[in-house]
Each structure stands twice: as structure tokens, then as C-alpha cells.
Structure 1
Amino acid sequence: MRKKVTVKVPGTCGELMQGIIAGVNLQISCPIDLYSTVTMTRIDSEAGIKIKEEAEKTKLAIEKTLDYYNYDLQNLGLQVDLQSELLVGKGMASSTADIVASIIATMTILGVEVDIKIVQEIAVSIEATDGCFLSGLTAFNHLQGQQLAKLGSVKTPLPLLIFDCGGTINTTQFNAQADLARLKLAKEKQAKQAYQLIVRGIKEGNNRLIGQGATLSSQANQSILYKPQLTKILQVVEAEKKVLGINIAHSGTLIGVLLNSKDKLGEIKENISSQITDIDYVTNTKLINGGYEIRR
């Protein structure tokens, strides 16, 4: 068994698309260059999990992983340090990144092979799970924890401006809405079009198609979670050739502006911030390929 391990999992700026297609819930995550990092140390002289009190889901993920492999906490001591660059309740997949990083760290500490199917199973038993920990870009059923299709990878990271519409959203409560399935089905045509554009864009290395698909999915989601700032941003950037498209957190408060280069990043950010007063600038980062990293 290992004595210490560190696992990094990227967060997201929401999704490139999300919806129901042919009766299946799916999303394509928008992984970004910001992370949750879990460092886990095995302490043979102690027992139980030492972790900060507010990390309840992370602790539960560790307990479920230990239980899956039939390890008794009375005979195992774990010190867990959790560091995150992700905002909570905004749509950055902060819980998913924490949960998945802790599951993979636990598997590694125990000396068992990291099995992604088991990771997905444990994670989704706690809450709806983002696919940001899977390599590349993936079509993922976030409600059932199933990888539906490997779509490929972006050839180079894409600059991304992130803005926040304000407030927070509880993802569990959001997904429990009684009429959510009906609302998703009503926009199935747009979801399918968005999916096809993004899949084609990834396959062909055409980032503009990815941006078009993301924009379409963002607009279609207005009937589910309305963001008044979305229309305003689209108006501000509609003539800007550097902008590939707009993506959102479909169950969060974030709006992302995808760019084909950093050339006018500062200017575009200032244009949006100065013309839209009811939105907060968060940061600039990059759309990257998903995946986790283990540091031994």
C-alpha cells in the first residue's frame, strides 16, 4: 500500500452542451485549467479519516470506496488535505472534482487499480456527476454516471473568459425538479443539433463548430434556467471574430466566452464588463481536455 498520494481533477465552466437525446440524459463537459487537488496520507498508527468538517461529500466518497474494497476504518488511518481552485454552487463541477479525486486517491492508497467504472458508480451514488475526469471530451450521462461516447480531444487549449450571473444553485435540488425532464424533452431538437455540431467540430478540429454548438445549447437552456445576461453577452460579442461561441453552466450561474486566441482577450473582457452591469467577471482560463492526474 502507498503511504501518500496526490490526485488532481479539473473543474469545468459548465458544459458545452446538455440535454436529452433519444431518451438519454447527456452532457459534454467544458473542462478548464483549474483544479481540485486531494492529497491523502496513510497513517498506520491512527484510525479513521481526518478531513475538514465541511468536506462531507468528499469524506463520504472515501468511506464508500473503503467499503467497496472491504477495508475497516478501525484499522486504517487517513489524513486528507483538500485544495480547490473552484467556486462552489456556480457550475464548476467542484463537488465532482473533489469526490472523484478522493475516490482515485483512496484506490491508489489501497494499492488497487483505478477502475473508472467503479469511480463512476461510487461518485454518482453521492450526486449527479460531471465527466470532467474522463480523458479528452466525452458524452456522459451525468445522472447515471455512464460514459456514452469518447468524442476526441481539442488539439490546443482554447482561451475562455468566465463570467458569473450571481447567486448559487444546488445541483441536487435542480436535478430533482418535477418538470425538468419535460423541459429537457421540449428542447431535444436543439440539443441534438448542438451535439452534432460539437462532435463534428471535435472530429474535424474545427473550433468554430464547437463554439456554435455550445451557443445553441446555451440559448436552448434559457427555457430551463434563464440567464438574462446571456442575450446581452451575445449582443456584445456578435461582431467579434475572435469569439468562437458562448457556453454556460446549464445548472449553474456561469457563462463562458470561448475565444480562438488570446489576442483580444482583455479588450473583449472589458467590453462585456463595461456594457453589462449585472454580471461579475470571474477569471480567464482555458478549455482543456478532461482527465485526472496521479502524483505518487
Structure 2
Amino acid sequence: MLTTPGGDPARWVSGVCQGTLGELFQGPLRPGGDADIAIVSFPVDRHSWVYFAPGAGSGDAPPGEPPLGAKAATAARLFLEHFGLTLPPGRWSTHSDLHVGVGMASSTADIVATVRCLFRIFSLPYDTGAVLRVLAAIERADSVFLDEFALYLSGRHRVVRRLGTGVGFHTAFVMEPGTVDTAAVTPVLRRHYRRCATEYERCLTDLLKGFASGDPAAVARAATFSSVLSQEVLPKDTFETVLAHREEFGADGVFVAHTGSLVGYLFSCRPAPSLKGELSAFFRSLGHQCSFAQGGYA
């Protein structure tokens, strides 16, 4: 049992944040020029956890549980400075389901989980504005600090439109090897967005209509269109094959991590065990291990 130096059981305080399976849309908010890059992140039922035990010693964390990473530690410092607080003696510990560098918003989720833990340590009401200020000082971010879909400007840290919780999917996906440096490819993306401004405008319009009507099939079609557009600038090795077999597996659409390495199928209904077997064999034939997860909220 975890104990404080005085021998009393320590009470862990936690903060939790969901990750993503890439995006259902990434593109320009407005066509032409250097339009802001907008995203509709695809939340997934996988998480980052951050724990703090007030009064716990450095050797009292569960074995194998790492301390705060660099960005999360920076988030804690910024939070304390913003509120003029001092962290009591204690022990940080973390755990995550999220893979790093593939498009699952792992670092953003770590930051948000840390800030949520701090709100609980000090018994402060949760303040989204404070979360955004911390994120803006550290990195471009996904909208995982919200518990709903949103059209979000990741560079400006601005929520353009909340899209609710009425849409959800079951997914089958793989992670291709390698990572993408988002900052390095931003100029390439902006040139691509200017060339394809009309297509992106239509894609985003269709996506927002799908969310407004609570129609997962329409959302999946728009997500597929966004993935096809992304393939023109940051291609995935398996994408064309995955797209070509969509109807065979009865998937409603295809999604990707636009600046990551995830590729997968969207299903509005849970795949049967037999279909999961077929999907697993298909992705194995492409050289990848298939994973299944629930995304969205409905």
C-alpha cells in the first residue's frame, strides 16, 4: 500500500484525458490565401492518466509508472504560476494508452490530464480558459480538453464550433511505421490547401451538415473525402488498398491521422466477431496488426 512518510495511507488524486484517432477533418477553415488550418479531432476511448499523491516519497510510486514528461511538467509549472499556487510535497505518476507520434494526441492528452489533476489537487473549479492558456504556451493542440466534437483551430487554440456528442463510430485501424513533424510539413499543407480550396470547402460543409443532423453515415463520407484529400499531400502506404476494400467490409468510411500514421475504417454499428476476424486478416496481409476501438460519443 502507498503510504506517506508518516505512515498514513496516501490519497492519490487523478486527472484523465482522452486521446484521438487522428481527425475526421483537417483542412483550411476558409478557402484561399493562408487560411487557418482547422481540425475536427476524432476522440477515442483511450486515455492518458496523471496521478499525484500528496506527501508521498519518491520511492512510493507503483513500479513501472513514469513521472511527468517534459511538456506535462511545463504545464504544471504554468498552471501554478497562473494561479499563484505552490505544489505541496508529493509524488507524480502517469500512465497512458496512447501511442506517441502517430496521431493520437498523446502529448496534448498528457498536458490536459496534468492540468485536470492540478484542479483537483487544489479543489478549483475546472476552467477551460486556463487549460487553453496552458496549451497555447506549449504546443499546437487537439480539442481533447472538450468532451464533445468541435471544429477547432489548433494553432490559434480557438473553438470555432461545438459539434456535440450525437455521433460515434466503431473502428478498425492500424499504425503505419514512422512519424510526421507537423511543424515541418505545415508550409506544404498550406500550399496543398490553396490548390484544393474548393474541395476542402465542400468537404467541411458536408461534415458540418452531417453533425448537425446527427447522421454518422454523412460524417463518415466527409471524413473519407478529407482522407482522400490528405493522401495527395501526406500519403499513407496502405491507404489506397484500405479505401478500395471499404465496401467489401461494409464500412461507412475511412479515417486517417492527417499528420500521423493511423489508417482505419469507420463503422456506425459494432462489427461482428467474424468481421473482426476478416479485418484482422486483411490488415495482417498488409503487414500490420489491427486494433479496434470506439470513437466519438454516441
The equivalent of 2:61 in structure 1 is none
1:71 equivalent in alignment to 2:85: yes
Task: Please list every run of 5 or more consecutive structure 2 residues that lacks an aligned counterpart in the other structure.
Answer: 1-10, 59-64
Structure with greater Cα Rg? 2
**Separation in 1 of the partners of 2:70 and 2:50?**
14
Question: Which residue does the alignment assign to 2:217?
Answer: 208
Which residue of 170, 173, 181 maps to 1:162?
173
User: Which stretch shows the higher mean deviation, 195-204 or 247-256?
Assistant: 195-204
User: Could you tell me which residue of structure 1 aligns to residue 137 of structure 2?
Assistant: 125
SS of corresponding position for 2:124: coil
Partner of 1:66, secondary structure, is helix
Give how far 1:16 is off.
0.3
AA paired with 2:139?
E
Q: Which amino acid aligns with 1:273?
A: F
- Which of 17, 24, 43 pairs up with 1:31? 43
Out of 243, 250, 259, the position equivalent to 1:251 is 259
Q: Kindly indicate whether the alpha-carbon contact (under 8 Å) linking 1:128 and 1:172 is maintained by their aligned counterparts in 2.
A: no
Aligned ranges 1:85-96 → 2 under 5 Å: 85-96=97-108
Q: Deviations over 1:244-295 (max 9, x none)?
A: 1001001100012101222254144135325434xx22410011239xxxxx
Q: Is residue 59 of structure 1 aligned with residue 73 of structure 2? A: yes
Distance (Å, rounded) in 2 between the aligned partners of 1:120 and 1:265: 41
Task: Please tell me the residue identity of whatever aligns with 1:82.
Answer: T
Which structure has more strand as a fraction of its residues? 1
**Partner residue of 1:228?**
237
Would you identify which runs of 4 or more consecutive aligned residues in structure 1 move more than 6 Å? none
Q: CA deviation at 1:44?
A: 9.1
Deviation at 1:238, TM superposition (A): 3.1
SS at match of 1:36: strand
Percent of paired sites with the same residue:
24
Offset at 1:181?
2.1
- Counterpart of 1:270 in structure 2 is 280
Instruction: Give the aligned CA root-mean-square deviation in angstroms.
Output: 2.5
CA distance in 1: counterparts of 2:49 and 2:237, whole angstroms:
34
TM-score of the superposed pair, with normalisation by structure 2: 0.84
Higher relative contact order (CA 8 A, sep 6+): 1
Aligned length: 277
Q: 1:41 aligns with which of 53, 77, 90?
A: 53
Q: Which residue of 2 aligns with 1:8?
A: 16
